Structure 1
């Protein structure tokens, strides 16, 4: 029985399922001309129908296996196949092309032949079949051989730190896979040499959760695998699967920055990759028969300072709550350090994108706005009562300390909430927003290799909103990265474009002129006083260090859904060209952040 169907742009004649079930011998008739069988064979291949194409040959079983294997090996069952011509006698040519993606096309011509099949003879006509030969599908394809498509890459590039030493590189790791026949009591002691948290009970639980499917118990670097590889390989139910992976040279370094660099590395690999169609002979010999060679992906030279990064991670390791240090070169925007501890890792890349009330560190923006508006000078005498009612808000200082009337610079150094609230209440609604933007806070940056959020300082339409905003509460939020950028803007005189890969600075979603030079100079002086005689005097022995402390309340009156309340601790500052922000979640005061800064800077 013959069925005529429309497939794509052709009318194709296909053998029905009943014919396929019975085989060629069981069919009453076949295509009645060599050109007809060639057209039908080409149409079936073009539609990706291995069974129908195979049924038109003299050896359907072998042909279907080979055609299906070709589709699988090339990862593509959608070739374009047309009859290029019919030769003398029973020969025909096929034009075949495959597309493996943009600018990855492989085209060729093959020659086949048809023959009359005596089993198809009838009183009226003879049946014709394609004489089965794998070479009709692709050049150099023969019985026992196969073709496969594969992307190809050059020498894996290296990611370097600012000292020119490898930071990340492609290394071979081994997946230790277990199936249900593995004995956790035997496997666990071997794996625990590299992963102490693995126990027989934990492996048994993982195997039970896998419900009979294989599971990966651990991924080991070469140095960790070597001492136990022979023993693991001999155990039933254990399979070792090596694979390449981008890893840090120093396994102890951990940063949310690595994921962005990893993505950039893989993008460069993909952009420079070549491709190949390979012929695999029956004896395993591999030879490329088509494709384009890869180019070399560039090495990435990052701005990460390995010493600062290592010290930051060591400093934060002792905290049992999320803790972060971000360091930025104030002149160039080079990101020197992005470190966060294990507790922070559980919440995501909080160093770069976590948004929190910045508390009193935001007073640098409030003071800048006041100076630019002419509301005060550094020496202007202003009240700093322990508690003040400003508009319809009552604002206390920390533990309600009262300084009486003091110069603005003294109120700043001692972090007087009441002074800042009094300055901000009558400011325009956009004053704090504009002052923050001058320091990069609220600007969106697209930085190659780095995903960041700086913060949000919306216009504040009411006096109450400005009172809260003046002390970094209410609607004001910032990330540790954003506050490090604020410190860099003050230390360097303008907001630098963040950079994590040398030569590839960020682009900003808006251009904002920096604060006036005299305003920034005044802020530097007040931030130095904060260190020598103010709330960060614990660090007074650090020469040239400038800074601003911050305690930021959360929850309670700030509207936390679970009504949990407390305070985060902040310290931002700069020494020489290194600007930074230290953030300790739930620290209840700025003291832990100040202490962490001192340890990191080399006390």
Structure 2
């Protein structure tokens, strides 16, 4: 009798579930039929009750738990039960705010969600809905996904909440809004007057968004009605622009002319299509005009906004400093030891190579690290920072190119980190735009701030460098970069480009990454370019051919 009573007590604590454990439930036209497996009942079946407290479920999620948690969330969202949907996530407040705005601010209705087969804890799903605003209506269809996680406090499976669950273009803190756009659309033109579109040049999506944000109100257009992503604080700090997802009624676009070359832009798009995670930028040294920018991944403009260690391409800036200080000349004998110890760190060259009796030019051309780190004891902590700022205009956060950009960073550092900065590691961060500008400055002898839209359009002031390198220093830099292109690590991609060219390769190590980021920057006549292939390996083999192909097109 006692045993039967205990069994009855345990059963009475369970939620009422049809068929003792499971029930087939239709969860809406889009979701189809799922086997509803209640998390609480399942937990009872697999965990013990001790002293009146249920043990916390741990371990990997089961397929049934993933189905149940995702179905609970998607069903509630589809039915407009925002509070229930939010309660099925691990951040109820953030989920409720965004899902409420989905209806009230974005004016999205008639939502149908169709779940697809899960991959582990990730559940992709399709969204079909209608956007309606003041007599304007448009169908909306897109794909998204969610991930189910186990809450640590009680082991309950919940949807891991991020704004991207609602729409993949959303970052946390962003919102969706439908209405008259605050910014009229723009028609962007290349330097010859041809229209620039993301359909023709896929890499230009973020650029076109940035142009609209900056020039929409100035270019004479009229706003339309649209569904758009409005960026939050974090996205704005990352310099992401608002993004249009659907136009309910077209506005009248204004016109903005850019410096982009249709020939170079098309060629740059072709180059980055060949390699994953590749980016390239082409500029004109005599003016600073940006002729092309292209990225293999089109969602984020690494070319303008990336923040990556530039590796040995930074040795151009370091060499400028060493030449100006009179610490070395290209022909001076300067060894490059296999290892070098600085402030407790031991620095190595690639493949533990060494140069015992070579010139500095040879070390530059071979990209021998310790030939540069060897100068660290003779430098102050701020020398490289000042050189980058004063001669190359880097790290001042004052470039105004016409769209959002990152202007590079060369922080003041000490000890081993300062030594690492000399070879483009440590805290140094750049992108292809920055490094193309470095080569352009060497080519012309003067820093011209890169720009995508002429300052004549809006009378903005371009950044200027505090001083110009001497003709002697420029000559020395051209000598070592020309040597690198003719005999050093850049010889293969630069073959046939002639004497009026120079280059520098780079490989930047990244923690947890098997291969380094491959960098390459070069100039030829009145063209300069730089590229990076993330996790691609040595720059001469990856980014080099991409950059050289663009330079070979001529002026």
CA distance in 2, matches of 1:397, 1:448: 37
Query: Which residue of structure 2 aligns with residue 404 of structure 1?
Result: 356
Query: Which residue of structure 2 aligns with residue 597 of structure 1?
Result: 547
CA distance in 2, matches of 1:182, 1:413: 58
Counterpart selection for 1:540 from 491, 495, 504: 495
Decide whether aligned partners of structure 1 residues 576 and 510 sit closer, same or farther in structure 2, where only a CA change above 3 A counts.
Answer: closer
Question: How does 1:8-407 map onto structure 2 within 5 Å?
Answer: 205-207=126-128, 215-217=139-141, 246=186, 249=196, 251-254=199-202, 255=204, 256-269=206-219, 299-320=255-276, 322-342=277-297, 345-346=298-299, 348-407=300-359
Query: Which residue of structure 2 aligns with residue 458 of structure 1?
Result: 411
Deviation of 1:351 (Å) = 1.2
Deviation of 1:377 (Å) = 1.3
How many pairs are equivalent?
Answer: 351
CA distance in 2, matches of 1:485, 1:249: 23
Instruction: Check whether the contact 2:445–2:474 (CA below 8 A) recurs between aligned residues.
Output: yes
Deviation of 1:333 (Å) = 0.8
Instruction: Check whether the contact 1:498–1:506 (CA below 8 A) recurs between aligned residues.
Output: no
CA distance in 2, matches of 1:180, 1:431: 59
Decide whether aligned partners of structure 1 residues 394 and 449 sit closer, same or farther in structure 2, where only a CA change above 3 A counts.
Answer: same
Unmatched tracts of structure 1, length 5 or more? 1-176, 184-201, 219-242, 274-295, 556-562
Decide whether aligned partners of structure 1 residues 506 and 376 sit closer, same or farther in structure 2, where only a CA change above 3 A counts.
Answer: farther
Structure 1 residue 436 corresponds to structure 2 residue 388: yes
Counterpart selection for 1:507 from 461, 464, 469: 461
CA distance in 1, matches of 2:409, 2:395: 5
How far does the alpha carbon of each residue in 1:243-284 deviate from its partner, in whole angstroms, 9 at most, with x for none? Answer: 9965655522132322222224412246899xxxxxxxxxxx
Q: Which has the higher strand share?
A: 1
TM-score by length of 2: 0.57
Deviation of 1:418 (Å) = 0.9
Decide whether aligned partners of structure 1 residues 334 and 253 sit closer, same or farther in structure 2, where only a CA change above 3 A counts.
Answer: same
Moved more, 400-409 or 521-530: 400-409
Decide whether aligned partners of structure 1 residues 349 and 372 sit closer, same or farther in structure 2, where only a CA change above 3 A counts.
Answer: same
Deviation of 1:588 (Å) = 2.1
Instruction: Check whether the contact 1:391–1:425 (CA below 8 A) recurs between aligned residues.
Output: no
Moved more, 306-315 or 251-260: 251-260
Query: Which residue of structure 1 aligns with residue 470 of structure 2?
Result: 516
Query: Which residue of structure 2 aligns with residue 585 of structure 1?
Result: 534
Counterpart selection for 2:480 from 504, 523, 526: 526
Deviation of 1:491 (Å) = 0.9
Residue aligned with 2:346, SS: strand
Query: Which residue of structure 2 aligns with residue 7 of structure 1?
Result: none
CA distance in 1, matches of 2:312, 2:341: 18
Residue aligned with 2:448, SS: coil
Deviation of 1:428 (Å) = 1.3
Deviation of 1:396 (Å) = 1.3
How far does the alpha carbon of each residue in 1:197-253 deviate from its partner, in whole angstroms, 9 at most, with x for none? Answer: xxxxx999323899xx974138xxxxxxxxxxxxxxxxxxxxxxxx99656555221
Decide whether aligned partners of structure 1 residues 427 and 261 sit closer, same or farther in structure 2, where only a CA change above 3 A counts.
Answer: same
Instruction: Check whether the contact 2:312–2:506 (CA below 8 A) recurs between aligned residues.
Output: yes
How far does the alpha carbon of each residue in 1:439-488 deviate from its partner, in whole angstroms, 9 at most, with x for none? Answer: 122132342622211211112232x1221111111111112211111111
How far does the alpha carbon of each residue in 1:403-423 deviate from its partner, in whole angstroms, 9 at most, with x for none? Answer: 212111111111110101102
How far does the alpha carbon of each residue in 1:41-77 deviate from its partner, in whole angstroms, 9 at most, with x for none? Answer: xxxxxxxxxxxxxxxxxxxxxxxxxxxxxxxxxxxxx
CA distance in 1, matches of 2:112, 2:282: 50
Residue aligned with 2:140, SS: strand
Instruction: Check whether the contact 1:440–1:482 (CA below 8 A) recurs between aligned residues.
Output: no
TM-score by length of 1: 0.53
How far does the alpha carbon of each residue in 1:559-599 deviate from its partner, in whole angstroms, 9 at most, with x for none? Answer: xxxx4554101001111111111111111211201121233
Residue aligned with 1:572, SS: strand
Larger CA Rg, structure 1 vs 2: 1
Query: Which residue of structure 2 aligns with residue 425 of structure 1?
Result: 377
Instruction: Check whether the contact 1:439–1:490 (CA below 8 A) recurs between aligned residues.
Output: no
The CA RMSD measured in Å over matched residues stands at 3.4
CA distance in 2, matches of 1:461, 1:580: 31
